[in-house]
Amino acid sequence: MRERGAGDRWLAGEQVDGVAFAHHARVLIARGTDAGRAGHVALLLALRPQPRYLVALDGGGDVRVGQDDLEAG
């Protein structure tokens, strides 16, 4: 059996070091071109240089956002 990667563990609901937001967590984009928009975390895209997420926006569409630009919402 192969060892699961960080993305697989995250999708399964496990805590991954340095990753603040869980799958389906409600978030508010606090900084950047989409500041003020809300949605939920759809996917963990990268861990470095900071965790980066695909955020499904309320009202449709999605954006890629770094963890430092998100707040719990």
Q: pLDDT by residue for the chain (73 residues), tens digit each?
A: 455 799 999 999 999 999 999 999 999 999 999 999 999 999 999 999 999 999 999 999 999 999 999 999 8
Range of the structural domain that residue 44 is part of: 6-72
Q: What is the Cα 65 distance to its own chain's centre?
A: 7
15 in Cβ contact with 33 (< 8 Å):
no
| Domain-embedded: residue 1 | no
User: Whole-model pTM?
Assistant: 0.90
Which residues are CB-neighbours of 2 under 8 A, at least 6 positions away? Answer: none
| CATH, residue 40 | 2.30.30.30
Q: How far apart are the C-alpha atoms of 71 and 56, rounded to whole Å? A: 14
Q: Count up the domains in the chain and report the number.
A: 1
**pLDDT of res. 4:** 73
